[in-house]
């Protein structure tokens, strides 16, 4: 129904309801002073009864609604050309939408690109996150791959600002523990000066997965590299599985090699020979049995070294022993035996340093050469022997006989003061 009223002519319009109280429509203080006509477009149907005085909602008026239920809500844009329409979905129970107070703000919409500030998102589901860089010229877009199940990424409690680690971006990682990592291509380690890197890469194409184990170490240690000169300690190298070349026996080995390992267990030749020799006692000797060097213990006093069954041995030989003599022997005197007790005694015959013989009382020459002969008694050069000397004197009262078949050669002079009997050959040269 239409209601057209001239506000200046009517102070109010009274509607009588079929039952209950009447409804009075009257202008507000604002419309009383308005000269223009105001048209009220009343909706079809009954006018609801209120519990108290109320106001008709007008199209162009700024009014506050209370206790209203809207099937839909539309908001016109700034130039009234389009509108925002708000519509509720099918709720299973009443829901309350609370708008916070404090400052002017903007609704956040599902598909509209907006910048959110001061927001706490509880268990959000986000298709992708786009973040502009510092210069607002490019964006970082964070989006998940195609997951087969829900996955939770937990951010650690940070003590200070930090940076995400990215797959293809070169970054320096600190304070990280990598559990079963798979590193493609190579691992790069920067040197201490931060100007070069060590590249750790697989040597070739593996036919299967391999595990390189790092031992438990008690302090900082270094990797052993193939071509770098390094000093290795606390290592056991299996010689049957490894080939070690170019070891200097003068500078490359700094400790003694035990005998059980083919060494001498010493650092000098004398000590080494002593360690290897089979001898154990003072006076022991070493002999070979054709295959091994063996120990021959020292013999007893008076024994002599002989050969028995092709090897040396100490034996006691009958008739052997020390020869004894008086306390003094005359210089240049010939010695002679003194009975069966292995004693010796001096004789009266002297042989000086020029081989001159004196004090001969009797003699049988036996193929010898004498520089000078002065006989003190008779002597004979027996048959089959010869005597050669430089000069010869036959003293008075003595006889020198050259037996038949013997020879006497004198190279200087023969002085005969006694008797020289020649039955063999006597030659004065």
> Is 308 within the bounds of a domain?
no
Task: Provide the pLDDT for residue 343.
Answer: 67
Name the nearest CA neighbour of 349 among 340, 358, 362.
Answer: 358
Q: How many domains does the chain have?
A: 3
pTM score, two decimals?
0.31
Residue 331's closest CA among 302, 351, 358, 310? 351
Note whether residue 410 is domain-resident: yes
Range of the domain at 364: 352-428
49 lies in some domain: yes
- 86 located within any domain: no
Q: Are 413 and 390 in contact (CB under 8 A)?
A: no
What does the alpha-carbon distance between residue 55 and residue 28 come to, in Å, rounded to a whole number? Answer: 9
| Measured distance CA(362)–CA(380) in Å, rounded | 8
> How does DSSP assign 299-362, residue by residue?
--TT-EEEEETTEEEEEPPTT-S--B--S---TTEEEEE-STTSBEEEEEEEE-TT-EEEEESS
**Would you state the pLDDT for residue 365?**
47
Angle at 229 between CA 224 and CA 231, to 5 degrees: 65
Q: Is 97 part of any domain?
A: no
Domain membership of residue 420 (yes or no) is yes
For residue 37, being part of any structural domain is answered with yes
Say if 183 falls within a structural domain: no
Question: Which tokens hold the place of 132?
Answer: 């502009």
* Average pLDDT per 10 consecutive residues for the chain, totaling 429 residues: 42 54 55 50 56 66 78 83 84 83 80 84 82 89 85 85 85 84 80 86 83 86 88 84 81 82 89 93 93 93 89 81 67 72 69 68 50 70 67 82 80 84 82
């Amino acid at each position: 129904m239409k209601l057209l009223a001239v506000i200046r002519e009517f102070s109010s319009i009274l509607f009588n309801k079929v039952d209950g109280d009447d409804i009075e429509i009257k202008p507000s203080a604002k419309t009383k002073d308005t000269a223009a006509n105001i048209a009220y477009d009343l909706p079809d149907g009954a006018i609801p009864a209120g519990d108290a005085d109320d106001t008709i909602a007008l199209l162009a008026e700024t009014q506050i609604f209370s206790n209203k239920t809207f099937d839909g809500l539309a908001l016109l844009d700034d130039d009234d050309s389009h509108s925002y329409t708000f519509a509720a979905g099918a709720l299973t129970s009443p829901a309350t939408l609370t708008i916070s107070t404090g400052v002017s703000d903007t609704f956040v919409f599902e598909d509209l690109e907006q910048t959110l500030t001061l927001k706490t998102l509880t268990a959000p589901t986000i298709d992708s996150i786009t973040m502009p860089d510092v210069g607002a010229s490019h964006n970082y877009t964070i989006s998940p791959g195609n997951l087969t199940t829900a996955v939770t990424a937990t951010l650690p409690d940070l003590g200070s600002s930090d940076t995400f680690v990215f797959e293809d971006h070169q970054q320096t990682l600190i304070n990280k523990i990598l559990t079963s990592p798979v590193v493609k291509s190579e691992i790069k380690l920067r040197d201490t000066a931060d100007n070069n890197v060590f590249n750790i890469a697989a040597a070739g194409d593996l036919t299967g997965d391999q595990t390189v184990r790092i031992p438990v170490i008690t302090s900082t240690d270094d990797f052993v590299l193939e071509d770098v000169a390094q000093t290795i300690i606390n290592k056991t190298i299996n010689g049957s599985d490894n080939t070690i070349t170019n070891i200097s026996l003068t500078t490359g080995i700094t400790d003694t090699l035990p005998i059980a390992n083919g060494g001498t267990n010493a650092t000098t030749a004398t000590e080494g020979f002593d360690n290897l020799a089979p001898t154990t006692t003072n006076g022991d000797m070493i002999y070979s049995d054709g295959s091994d060097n063996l120990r021959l213990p020292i013999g007893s006093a008076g024994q002599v070294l002989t050969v028995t069954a092709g090897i040396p041995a100490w034996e006691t030989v009958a008739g052997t022993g020390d020869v004894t003599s008086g306390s003094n022997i005359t210089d240049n005197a010939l010695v002679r035996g003194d009975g069966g007790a292995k004693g010796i005694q001096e004789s009266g015959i002297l042989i000086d340093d020029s081989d001159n013989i004196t004090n001969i009382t009797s003699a049988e020459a036996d193929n010898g050469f004498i520089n000078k002969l002065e006989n003190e008694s008779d002597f004979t050069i027996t048959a089959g022997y010869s005597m050669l000397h430089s000069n010869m004197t036959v003293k008075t009262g003595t006889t020198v006989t050259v037996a038949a078949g013997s020879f006497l050669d004198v190279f200087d002079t023969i002085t005969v003061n006694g008797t020289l009997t020649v039955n063999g050959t006597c030659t004065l040269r």
